[in-house]
Structure 1
Amino acid sequence: MKPRLTIFDEPLLYTEGLSRLLSQSKIFNGINICNSYETLFEQLKLDPPELLMISSNILMLTDIYKSVEEITSKNQNIKIIVIGNCYDVTDIRKLFNKGIKSYLDKNSRYDEFMKSIQALLLNEIYICDYAKERMINFISSEGQQRLHIKDPLTRREMEILKLICDGLSSKDISEKLFISINTVETHRKRILLKLNVKNSVGVVKYAIENHIID
């Protein structure tokens, strides 16, 4: 079943143009535009979409935090994409902790937006390349010591960790390694538990800090 997308952004000329462009992709069952806080929450209350895009054009960062927290507390199935204004790594981390599933910068191109949509449809998270680069630089500048875990990763878990960092979905990993999706998901859960992280963002951070990936 095709998902529905709600765009919470301004100005109207831009949002209408984006809506028409996205409609041509034939990925969505419907695209709605909201230009006010009241209209958005009325729609979320009556007929919540599967995907929601929130832009920094329409809300300050602190208001995005509050909105994401409020939306996810009432609609856990909504996958939120935030279009940020080149936010700091700490701000991006906080957005993911609040519940967003995808982060793009304003300078992200259309094809990267579509990549993020595909990732969300596969129940994966997505961070734009520009933000990933800032994250790597931030971690490098911190000069943090390597993490030490009591229960080390197995060879298979390390293999899956690297594929997660490459952006592969569980389905892609299962096909590449010739194992079932359930087996991949079991390995994912063990990796998160061993590394004491909550999601794939934490996995990537661990891999970068420990020089597992460049």
Structure 2
Amino acid sequence: MKPRLTIFDEPMLYTEGLSKLLSQSKIFNTINICNSFETLSKQLQEEAPEILMISSNMLMLTDLYKSIENITAENKDIKIIIIGNSYDVIDIRKLFNKGIKSYLDKNSRYDEFMKSIQALLLNEIYICNHAKESMIHFLSNEQEKANSHIKDPLTRREMEILRLICDGLSSKDISEKLFISINTVETHRKRILLKLNVKNSVGVVKYALENHIID
């Protein structure tokens, strides 16, 4: 069965043009347009769509967080696409934590929008290329900052194991997940403890939190 799409954006000229363009794809059963929060709320109460596109033009970021929480709490199966305004990585991560399934930026093109729709139809998430590049840059900088605090930087494998330790995995769990022996995991553990100058896993987690390796 084809999904229903609701577009929450303005101006009317843009939303109507997008609606007609999407109608030609024949992917959606219906396409509705909401240009105010009141009309959106009414439609969600009467007949919530499977896919909801929300533009950052319509809500401040703090209000957007609250709205996503409320919408997903009342409509657990709804898939939300956000069209952001060059949000930073932390804001994008928070949007996904609140319940969105796809993030596109104002610079995203129509073909990326269609890719995001296809991903949602497969119950996958989608992040536009612009946001992905920002995330890679952010993670690289964070790792450099973290490694700059220690004389002997952690290797890529050690960083991977550090994150798994922070997730609460045992050496056995880590060995199975990474397809390496328990002895190899234990060797990496000892090197991590030595490099970070901590005594146990608690110290590892504390280091990771302080250096924003984990939230």
Q: Same fold (TM over 0.5)?
A: yes
Equivalent residues, number? 157
Secondary structure (helix, strand or coil) at the match of 2:160 reads coil
Q: Distance in 1 between matches of 2:101 and 2:28?
A: 18
Deviation at 1:147, TM superposition (A): 3.3
Q: Which residue of 1 aligns with 2:6?
A: 6
Q: Which residue of 2 aligns with 1:111?
A: 111
Secondary structure (helix, strand or coil) at the match of 1:58 reads coil
Cα deviation, 1:35-93, whole Å, max 9, x if unaligned, reads: 01010010000000000000011111111111100000000000000000010000000
Q: Which residue of 1 aligns with 2:185?
A: none
Q: For residue 110 of structure 1, what is the amino acid of its counterpart?
A: Y
Work out the percentage of aligned pairs sharing the same amino acid.
73
Q: Distance in 2 between matches of 1:29 and 1:154?
A: 44
Select the structure of larger CA radius of gyration.
2
Q: Distance in 1 between matches of 2:121 and 2:104?
A: 16
Q: Which residue of 1 aligns with 2:204?
A: none
Q: Which residue of 1 aligns with 2:83?
A: 83
Deviation at 1:154, TM superposition (A): 4.7
Q: Find 2:160's aligned residue among 128, 132, 147.
A: 147
Structure 2 alignment gaps of length 5 or more: 147-153, 165-170, 180-212
Q: For residue 4 of structure 1, what is the amino acid of its counterpart?
A: R
Secondary structure (helix, strand or coil) at the match of 1:24 reads helix
Q: Distance in 2 between matches of 1:117 and 1:88?
A: 23
Q: Where do 4+ consecutive residues of structure 1 move more than 3 Å? A: none
Calculate the aligned-residue CA RMSD, in Å: 1.5
Q: Which residue of 1 aligns with 2:95?
A: 95
Secondary structure (helix, strand or coil) at the match of 2:131 reads helix
Q: Which residue of 2 aligns with 1:124?
A: 124
Q: Does 1:67 align with 2:67?
A: yes
Q: Distance in 1 between matches of 2:17 and 2:57?
A: 16
TM-score (norm 2): 0.71
TM-score (norm 1): 0.71
Secondary structure (helix, strand or coil) at the match of 1:18 reads helix
Q: Distance in 2 between matches of 1:20 and 1:63?
A: 29
Deviation at 1:7, TM superposition (A): 0.2
Structure 1 alignment gaps of length 5 or more: 156-205, 210-214
Q: Distance in 1 between matches of 2:3 and 2:142?
A: 40
Q: Which residue of 1 aligns with 2:53?
A: 53
